[in-house]
């Protein structure tokens, strides 16, 4: 394949926001060299066995298929032209491409992308990537607990401890100051893929009406490319015999992800090296959170056992069950027409169950959790600061972060910076920014009100279903009396309403994830950090209201506005406001939380474990299809 590597001076001119230009007509595109598959499915290199594959683009050339209609061929030709223009501009930006047809589908083409040394150096400086300048010779003070943690740590003979370095943002003018023993290993595979992804998201593929169209994401959304992904290391379950394969994924699987290694401490430095800082900090938090939850789980279990053991000695439960006390207290009907007067002692079983959770142990657990969450936050801040220091992310400055390509593309307005007094290009004026913020805030409030409306719908369901369940009983049995030992119409209403509420929560959660992304995209944050912060805020608001609004209603509002005997309060002039159990709404709140939290945990495990495993098996067995076009688990 021909070399399209640009000189250093030319590379400086390709730094954003200056891209390679595309002429609509008469443009001769550079195309990737088409080569045969080298029969090595584990290879991470081009066919010359020298250049490393940093990224893979996948597209389907449907023009080759005979059954393609003429009307569709015109669309496919336009897509092909955009794809050729995009790949040509990638090569003009210094990347090297090599294409290989799939062995199972002739229409499927894999474009391998390699970033040469000059490209890596240029964009490492643009992105302010920290790279090693010299080994860290500072000695760490040994802790008295080192002997204990070594028992649960991964053996150093299996995963060698990473050598620590002093680092600094990369500068080409000071390249001699950096610790470069080998050009091929100076940039880690994760860093190489990060740089290539930075380029892919900013290179244009068309110009229409003086508006540039660019970025791999738009090409994926329009179907021009079926997938774009960096390659993993060699196979995770079998050690590779290739000397150049470091088997990092295999070691992570064997010493970290395998079930038999559940008791071992996480090799966070190794996770960070392979996946990057963001994934590393996530698993660091997950491990820290799990360890802290262990103490909370033990205390919670002890408090639950205390409540279970003390239910027989609960004074107010004994009084409710006593035929001389609870059996002599007549209660008013809980619904009109269908319900009758009833005695308090028919709630004996529910009062016993309520004593399990409404006990002194629950009070102790509530106080403990208030202290626990404070300690958790403070200890996590301490742990996070340690990791930031070890991983050299302390001096990260948002001012040095590159703007998002979507932001840069819309920078058509010129304003004067009040601090520097220099002209700057921005995507909107101050008035336009206020309009966007007002629209986004209104949209968030609208979708939150939709959640509240769903809670009101569940309340109406509770009222109507309780009436139906009560009316279906014989006249001599009251709506709160047990049909069987543990089943009452009120319990049946609570359980079914909680299940329906959980289903609505899961459906709204999937919807709100897309809504939050759409609102954040319209808001147009400047940097990736601003984008993530804005998206996180919206997702927190949506999920908090979605998950806990029904629980807040049961805990603080249900049974508070029921009126008086002879003068009840009605919803919409039709439904009588629902009441709590004589012992309170705590048992109903416990049922609601159990179904929502338990169902959420089960659903998350299905999403994180079963679905990816099924999708991976399907993609390996069937290859790339339209329904799985953007999966990462595609094999060449």
Q: What is the pLDDT of residues 253-303, one digit of tens each?
A: 888 988 888 888 899 989 998 888 889 999 999 999 999 999 999 999 999
Average pLDDT rounded to a whole number, residues 458-479: 67
Q: What is the pLDDT of residue 209?
A: 60
pLDDT of 358: 83
**pLDDT bucket at 10, cuts 50 / 70 / 90:** very low
What number of residues does the chain have? 636
Does residue 374 lie within any of the structural domains? no
The encoded tokens of residue 616 equal: 């991976």
Query: Does 283 fall in a domain?
Result: no
* pLDDT at position 456: 87
531-563 pLDDT, tens digit per residue, is 999 999 999 999 999 988 988 888 888 878 777
Residue 194 lies in a domain: yes
Residue 105 sits at the vertex; the CA angle it makes with 103 and 111, to the nearest 5 degrees, is: 70
Query: What secondary structure letter does DSSP report for 253?
Result: I
What token pair was written down for 28? 């001769």
578 and 443 in a common domain: yes
Domain co-membership, 159 together with 117? no
**What's the pLDDT at 69?**
60
Q: Which of 197, 231, 265 is the last residue of a domain?
A: 231
Q: How far apart are CA 307 and CA 316, in angstroms?
A: 14
Residue 127 sits at the vertex; the CA angle it makes with 122 and 130, to the nearest 5 degrees, is 95
One domain, residues 250 and 181: no
Q: Do 151 and 205 lie in a common domain? A: no
40 or 54, which is more confident?
A: 54
Q: What is the pLDDT of residue 331?
A: 82
Contacts of 575 (CB under 8 A, 6+ apart): 460, 463, 464
Q: Which residue has the tokens 């595609």?
A: 634
Q: Total domain count for the chain? A: 3
Q: Is the same domain home to 426 and 537?
A: yes
* Long-range Cβ contact pairs of 238-247 (< 8 A, separation 24 or more): 240/42, 242/42, 244/44, 244/45, 245/42, 245/44
Q: Are strands 33-35 and 96-101 parallel, antiparallel or unpaired?
A: parallel
Is 287 within a domain?
A: no
Identify the domain boundary among 198, 231, 264: 231
The boundaries of the domain holding residue 92 are: 8-129+170-231
Contact assessment for residue 591 and residue 495, using Cβ atoms and an 8 Å cutoff: yes
HEC readout, 183-225: HHHHCCHHHHHHHHHHHHCCCEEEEECCEEEECHHHHHHCCCC
Q: How confident is the model at residue 230 (pLDDT cuts 50, 70, 90)?
A: very high
> How confident is the model over 112-121, as a mean pLDDT?
94
Q: Give yes or no: residues 34 and 51 share one domain.
A: yes
**207, pLDDT greater than 70:** no
Residue 224, in any domain of the structure: yes
Tens digit of pLDDT for each residue in 347-361? Answer: 787 788 888 888 899
Average pLDDT over residues 335-350: 77
- Residue 205 has a pLDDT of 85
149 shares a domain with 38: no
Could you tell me if residue 633 is inside a domain? no
Do 203 and 55 meet the contact criterion of CB atoms below 8 Å apart? no
For 262-274, letters b (16+ CB in 10 Å) and e give: eeeebbbbbbbbb
Residues 222 and 251 in one domain: no
Q: Give every CB contact of residue 184 below 8 A, 6+ residues apart in sequence.
A: 52
Last residue of a domain, one of 275, 301, 336: 275
Residues 6+ apart with CB under 8 A from 102: 108, 109, 110, 623, 624, 636
**Are both 178 and 258 inside the same structural domain?**
no
**Distances from the Cα of 569 to the Cα of 332, 462, 555, 563, angstroms:** 14, 15, 19, 5
The model's pLDDT over 557-604, given as tens digits with 9 standing for 90+, comes to 887 877 777 777 777 667 777 777 777 788 888 888 888 888 888 888
In this prediction, residue 402 has a pLDDT band, given cuts at 50, 70 and 90, of confident
The answer to whether residue 29 sits within a structural domain is yes
Mean pLDDT of 103-107: 79
Q: Are residues 250 and 226 in the same domain?
A: no
344-350 contacts at long range (C-beta below 8 A, 24 or more positions apart): 344/320, 344/582, 345/320, 345/321, 346/478, 346/480, 346/481, 346/482, 347/320, 347/480, 347/581, 347/582, 347/583, 348/317, 348/320, 348/321, 349/482, 349/485, 349/486, 350/488, 350/491, 350/581, 350/583, 350/587
Instruction: Confirm whether 490 is domain-assigned.
Output: yes
**Cα dihedral sign, 77-78-82-83:** negative
The 10s digit of each residue's pLDDT in 437-451 is 999 999 999 999 999
Pull the structure tokens for residue 493: 């209403």
Give yes or no for residue 388 having a pLDDT over 80. yes
In the numeric block, the tokens 């068309």 are attached to: 206
For residues 40 and 147, membership in a common domain is answered with no
Going 417 to 422 to 425 to 431, the CA torsion angle's sign is: positive
Say what the pLDDT of residue 604 is.
84
Contact between residue 208 and residue 225 where contact means Cβ atoms under 8 Å apart = no
Share of the chain above pLDDT 90, in %: 25
Are residues 407 and 514 part of one domain?
Answer: yes
How many other C-beta atoms lie within 10 A of the C-beta of residue 119?
23
Would you state the pLDDT for residue 67? 56
Q: Rounded mean pLDDT of 308-323?
A: 84
pLDDT at 385: 92
| Dist CA 124 CA 168 (whole Å) | 11
Phi-psi region of 300 (alpha: psi -120 to 50; beta: other; left: phi over 0): alpha
């Amino acid at each position: 394949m021909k070399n399209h590597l640009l000189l250093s001076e030319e590379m400086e001119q390709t730094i954003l926001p200056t891209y390679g230009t595309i002429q609509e007509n008469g443009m001769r595109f550079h195309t990737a060299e088409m080569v045969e598959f080298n029969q090595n499915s584990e290879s991470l290199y081009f066919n010359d066995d020298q250049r490393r594959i940093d990224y893979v683009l996948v597209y389907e050339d449907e023009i080759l298929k005979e059954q393609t209609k003429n009307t569709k061929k015109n669309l496919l030709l336009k897509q092909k032209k955009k794809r050729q223009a995009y790949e040509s501009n990638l090569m003009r930006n210094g990347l090297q491409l090599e294409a290989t047809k799939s062995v199972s589908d002739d229409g499927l083409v894999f474009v391998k992308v390699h970033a040469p040394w000059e490209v890596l150096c240029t964009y490492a400086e643009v992105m302010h990537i920290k790279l090693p300048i010299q080994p860290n010779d500072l000695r760490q003070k040994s802790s008295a607990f080192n002997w204990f943690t070594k028992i649960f740590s991964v053996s150093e003979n299996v995963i060698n401890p990473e050598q620590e370095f002093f680092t600094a943002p990369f500068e080409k003018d000071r390249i001699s100051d950096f610790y470069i023993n080998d050009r091929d290993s100076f940039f880690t595979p994760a860093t190489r893929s990060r740089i290539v992804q930075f380029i892919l998201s900013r290179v244009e593929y068309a110009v229409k009406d003086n508006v540039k169209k660019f970025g791999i994401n738009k090409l994926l959304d329009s179907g021009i490319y079926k997938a774009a992904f960096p390659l993993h290391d060699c196979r995770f379950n079998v050690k590779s015999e290739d000397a150049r394969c470091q088997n990092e994924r295999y070691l992570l699987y064997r010493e970290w992800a395998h079930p038999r290694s559940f008791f071992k401490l996480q090799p966070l430095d190794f996770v960070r090296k392979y996946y990057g800082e963001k994934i590393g900090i996530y698993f660091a938090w997950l491990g820290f959170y799990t360890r802290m939850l262990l103490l909370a789980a033990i205390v919670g279990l002890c408090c639950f056992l205390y409540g279970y053991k003390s239910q027989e000695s609960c004074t107010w439960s004994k009084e409710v069950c006593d035929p001389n006390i609870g059996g002599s207290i007549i209660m008013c009907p809980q619904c009109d027409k269908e319900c009758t007067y009833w005695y308090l002692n028919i709630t004996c079983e529910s009062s016993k169950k309520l004593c399990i959770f409404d006990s002194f142990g629950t009070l102790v657990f509530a106080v403990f959790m208030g202290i626990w969450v404070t300690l958790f936050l403070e200890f996590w801040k301490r742990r996070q600061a340690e990791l930031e220091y070890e991983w050299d992310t302390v001096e990260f400055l948002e001012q040095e972060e590159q703007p998002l390509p979507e932001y840069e593309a819309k920078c058509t307005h010129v304003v004067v910076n009040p601090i520097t007094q220099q002209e700057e290009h921005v995507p909107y004026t101050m008035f336009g920014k206020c309009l966007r913020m007002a629209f986004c805030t209104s949209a968030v409030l609208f979708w939150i009100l939709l959640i509240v409306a769903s809670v009101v719908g569940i309340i109406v369901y509770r009222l109507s279903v309780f009436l139906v369940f009560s009316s279906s009983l014989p006249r001599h049995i009251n709506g709160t009396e047990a049909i069987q030992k543990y089943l009452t119409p009120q319990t049946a209403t609570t359980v079914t309403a909680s299940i329906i509420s959980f289903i609505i929560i899961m459906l709204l959660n999937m919807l709100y994830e897309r809504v939050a992304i759409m609102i954040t995209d319209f808001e147009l944050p400047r940097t990736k950090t601003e984008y993530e912060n804005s998206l996180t805020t919206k997702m927190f608001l949506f999920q908090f209201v979605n998950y806990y609004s029904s629980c807040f209603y049961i805990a603080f509002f249900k049974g508070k506005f029921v009126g008086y005997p002879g003068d009840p309060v009605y919803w919409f002039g039709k439904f009588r406001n629902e009441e709590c159990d004589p012992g309170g709404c705590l048992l109903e709140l416990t049922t609601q939380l159990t179904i929502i939290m338990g169902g959420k945990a089960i659903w998350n495990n299905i999403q994180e474990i079963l679905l990816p495993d099924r999708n991976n098996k399907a993609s390996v067995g069937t290859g790339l299809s339209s329904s799985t076009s953007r999966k990462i688990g595609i094999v060449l």
